[in-house]
Amino acid sequence: MNLADEFLGELNQDLSDTENPMINPEHPLSSVWFTSRWFLLIALLIWLSVIITNGMVDSWGRLANGGENLLIFIDESLWPPDWSVIEPQAYPVCTQPEWLDFTCSTAWIGVVETLKIAFVATIFGMIISLPLSLFAARNLNPWWLSYPSRFILAASRSLPSIIWAIFFVILVGLGPLAGILAMTVYTIGYLGKLQYEAIEGVSRPPLDASNAMGHGWLERSFGVIIPESANGLISQAIFMFEYNFRHGTVIGIVGAGGIGYYINLYLKFLQYDKVIAYLVLIFIVVLLLDLLSIVARSFFTEEGDVTRPPSPWWGIILPSAMIDLLKPK
C-alpha cells in the first residue's frame, strides 16, 4: 500500500467516525440516539416478551371471560371478609381479659407464630450469611476463597423455601422448628447474595486508604466495609424479615407452622372469605414492617439522605400539619 492509499484510508475512517451518530457526540442525530436508546431497548424487550408469551399460550380466548369470572368469584365467595378469624376460639377456652380476647383467635396466633419464625430465621440467617458474604466479595478476597463461598450461597438459595420446608418436615417433624430451619437456609443464600453485592459496591477510596495504612482483613472488613455498607445491609435484613414473614404463609401449608396452616385449612373447606381476611391482616403487617424499615434505616443513613421520623410515633403515618394540631399547646 502506497502513501496515497494510506492517506485516503485514514481520511475515510475519520469521515465515517464523524458521520456516525453513535461515535461523534456533535452529530445532529447523536442527541436523538442517546435520548431514545432506552426507549428502543424497552420496546425491544417488550416485543421479545410478547413473542415468547405467544409461543407459550395455546389460546388467548381464555382471557375473554376472565374478568367476569373474577368479579363473580369476588362477589360470591371472597368479599366481604369473614372477620370471625379474629374472634377467640371456642376451644381451648380463652383465659385472657375481655379486651385481650383477640389474642386467642387463630389470626393472632398464626400471625405471631409466623413473625417469630421469620424473626428467628432472619437473625440466624444474617449471622451466618454475613461472614460468608465477606468471604464471597471479590474486592476483599482472592478467587479461590470468593468463588467457593459463592457456591455455598448459591446452593442454599437454589431451592425455594417451601422445598426446604418439606425436607425439614420430614427431618424433624411438623411444627415451627421445620419452618425456622427452612427459612434460615434460604435466608443464608438469598441475603448473602445481596450482602456481597453491596460489599462489592463499596467505593474504592476507603479501601485503598485502608490498604495504605496496612490494615488486615478483619480491620478492612469491620472497620471499612461494614460501616460503608451499613445502610444497605440493614435494609436487606429488614427486607428479608418481611420476605420471610410473607413466605411463612406458604411453608405453613406443608406443616411448617405459622398462619399458612390456617389458610390451608380454610382453603380445603372452600371458606375463601376467611382466607381473604387472613390476607388482609398479612398485608397490614407487611405495611407495618415497611414503616419499621424507614425508622431503622434512618439511624444508619448519612445526614440529608433519609430523614429520621419525627419524635411521636404517629408522625410516620400522619402528615406534619395534622401532627401540629395534635401536639399539646
Residues 220-250 pLDDT 10s = 777 777 777 777 788 788 888 888 888 877 7
Long-range contacts of 245-248 (CB under 8 A, 24+ apart): 245/114, 245/115, 245/118, 245/282, 245/285, 245/286, 245/289, 246/282, 246/286, 247/161, 247/162, 247/183, 247/186, 248/114, 248/117, 248/118, 248/179, 248/183
pTM assigned to the model:
0.70
Pick the CATH number of 101-319 from 1.10.10.10, 3.30.1330.60, 1.10.3720.10, 3.40.710.10: 1.10.3720.10
Average pLDDT over residues 117-134: 89
Cα-only R_g, the chain = 28
Indicate the SS3 state at residue 79: coil
Looking at per-residue confidence, does 212 or 51 come out higher? 51
pLDDT band at 124 (very low <50, low <70, confident <90, very high): very high
The DSSP symbol for 76 reads: I
Instruction: List where CATH 1.10.3720.10 sits in the chain.
Output: 101-319
Residue 121 pLDDT greater than 70, yes or no:
yes
| Maximum Cα–Cα distance across the chain | 103
* Dist. CA 135–CA 190, nearest whole Å: 15
Q: Give the pLDDT of residue 314.
A: 45
* Dist. CA 134–CA 115, nearest whole Å: 28
CA angle 223, 227, 232 (to 5 degrees): 145
The dihedrals phi and psi of 230, each to the nearest 5 degrees, come to: -60, -40
Run of H or E including 45:
helix 30-56
* Dist. CA 37–CA 171, nearest whole Å: 53
* Dist. CA 300–CA 232, nearest whole Å: 9
* Dist. CA 207–CA 307, nearest whole Å: 28
Average pLDDT over residues 17-39: 58
Q: Which of 75-84, 159-168, 178-187, 235-244 has the lowest mean pLDDT?
A: 75-84
* Dist. CA 23–CA 147, nearest whole Å: 38
CB 250 within 8 A of CB 136: no
pLDDT exceeding 90 applies to what percent of the chain? Answer: 3
